[in-house]
Structure 1
Amino acid sequence: MKSCLIIFLSVIPFGIYSQITHPKASPFSTVEQEVGLSKITVAYSRPSVRGRHVFGPQPDGQPGLVPYGRIWRVGANESTKITVDTDMQVLGNDLPKGTYALYAFPEENEWQIVFHTNTSHWGDGRKNYNSDEDLFRITVKPENIPYHQENFLISFDSITHHSANLNLIWASTKVTIPFSVDTDAQMEAEIAKQLRENPTAQTYYEAARYLQEQGRDFERALEYLNKAIEIGGDTYYFHRVKSLVEAALGDYRAAITSAEKSLELAAAQEKDEFVRMNEKNIKKWKAKIFKK
């Protein structure tokens, strides 16, 4: 009897407290995307189709994995969390810096996407979900895609300094959520700050390059470039951007002079790509002068 009790006590703790770690059916994933100076981070789990009908009713009328008209956690397991590190906008709605639960109410011809302030719910929250805690909802249209997406996927594309599209893709369906951010305001604040605090030649150059890339304030960009060259001396990339700014201002003769200087400096450092780009622009700008 005593030996049986010893065996029993030795087995019980193992049976109660041991636990096997196994792979998740819907593995966790995180996707991050920079948009200008900002970043969007999405943490979610990725369920698989595995031959099942996903959205809306099945052919026999029974509900699919994600029924129409009911809240969906936009993934599996925990609720999907989306974090923005600066204030953004989504279809004209203000999305302040912070973390939100992302939910959806799919329908056949349109989806409601919910940015929800309560991030404590497991999954979709079910009876604990309270629409009063929604930050806002938007309506988007689903589209059919010409391929099969086995694992639910959240991705970004159409990325610029000012915007990006977040895509929800699963089975044969894709939904796009457009984000926008005022990167110009952020950059102007950053430029002003850096120019106040002991600016270098690189500071002036980077400010000018941003303006040139955005296609605006070319006269200010030229002032910055002249200051960069005054402080930092001649570099092939200072003169390269200066030539582009001068061309944008319509001063092709000055642009050619700057491009020739950039070409000379680039050739000396064996920067073949910049040599070719300058040669191409010099030819193009000379043709413009000839047409005049």
Structure 2
Amino acid sequence: MKKVIYLFLFIAVLGFSNSLSAQKFSGLDKSPMDMASYPTDYKVSEKVVRIIYGRPQLKNRSLAELAPAGEVWRTGANEAAEITFYQDVNFGGRDISAGTYSLFTIPGEEEWTVILNKNLNQWGSYFYEDSADVARVSVPNGSDSASLEEFSIAFKEVDKGAHMVMGWDKTRVAVPITW
């Protein structure tokens, strides 16, 4: 009787392992997701802000083609970027409660409008609703001599806070954050 049970278990395990090896996995996303946070250490209790976003690449295209001036952009690729504040902050001059928001931008030649929106889990900006905006801030459009192939977001420490710096091609946009 024990031999029959062991044989049955062996066949079940063999069948299960074959179904695992048949799993198909997708290749690397063309615009992989990334994350930036401040501070950058791993102490969650000290985190102020974290952003998760897709990183599109220029690939011989222009920034104006991928993020047209005057149009709402998802601020990255694929899903709209999501920014989490772990405590109440002042974001570009606007008081924001701790929580998670979608991040959109409206690129411009002189300035960018940076938008925090309460609707989460949005694909692109196709279903963006301005009635769900929590804040809109305008920040100057800056530039750098170095070109970035991949859209990037980083935090730069400054007195009494940090700047969330977005960069792509030679464009740089910084939003001050204080707490």
| TM-score range normalised by the length of the shorter chain | 0.7 to 0.9
Measured on the aligned residues, the alpha-carbon RMSD in Å equals: 1.9
- Match for residue 153 of structure 1? 152
**2:112 is the alignment partner of 1:107:** no
Q: What is the CA distance between 1:114 and its match in structure 2?
A: 0.2
**2:21 is the alignment partner of 1:31:** no
Task: Give the 5 Å matches for 1:70-109.
Answer: 70-109=71-110
Secondary structure of 1:21's counterpart equals coil
TM-score (norm 2): 0.80
Q: Deviations over 1:240-266 (max 9, x none)?
A: xxxxxxxxxxxxxxxxxxxxxxxxxxx
- Match for residue 140 of structure 2? 141
Secondary structure of 1:132's counterpart equals helix
Aligned length: 154
2:149 & 2:78 partners in 1: Cα distance?
A: 17
Secondary structure of 1:179's counterpart equals strand
Q: What is the CA distance between 1:20 and its match in structure 2?
A: 4.3
2:153 & 2:57 partners in 1: Cα distance?
A: 13
Secondary structure of 1:142's counterpart equals strand
**2:61 is the alignment partner of 1:52:** yes
The amino acid that maps onto 1:131 is D
Task: Give the 5 Å matches for 1:250-269.
Answer: none
Percent of residue pairs bearing the same amino acid type? 29
Secondary structure of 2:66's counterpart equals coil
* Residues 37 and 47, structure 2, Cα contact 8 Å, conserved in 1: no
Q: Deviations over 1:47-74 (max 9, x none)?
A: 111121112xxxxxxxx11111111111
1:110 & 1:177 partners in 2: Cα distance?
A: 11
Q: What is the CA distance between 1:133 and its match in structure 2?
A: 0.5
Of 174, 177, 180, the residue aligned with 2:175 is: 177
Higher normalized helix content (fraction of residues): 1
1:66 & 1:129 partners in 2: Cα distance?
A: 15
1:116 & 1:49 partners in 2: Cα distance?
A: 26
Runs of 4+ in structure 1 off by over 4 angstroms are: 17-20, 35-38
2:143 & 2:39 partners in 1: Cα distance?
A: 27
Cα distance change of structure 1 residues 21 and 165 upon mapping to structure 2, 3 Å threshold: same
2:66 & 2:93 partners in 1: Cα distance?
A: 31
- Match for residue 168 of structure 1? 166
Q: What is the CA distance between 1:148 and its match in structure 2?
A: 0.9
Q: What is the CA distance between 1:92 and its match in structure 2?
A: 2.4
* Residues 84 and 98, structure 2, Cα contact 8 Å, conserved in 1: yes
Higher normalized strand content (fraction of residues): 2
1:131 & 1:48 partners in 2: Cα distance?
A: 27
> 5+ unaligned residues in a row in structure 2: which ranges?
1-21
2:115 & 2:87 partners in 1: Cα distance?
A: 19
Max Rg structure: 1
Secondary structure of 2:131's counterpart equals helix
Secondary structure of 1:166's counterpart equals strand
Task: Give the 5 Å matches for 1:227-238.
Answer: none
1:25 & 1:157 partners in 2: Cα distance?
A: 27
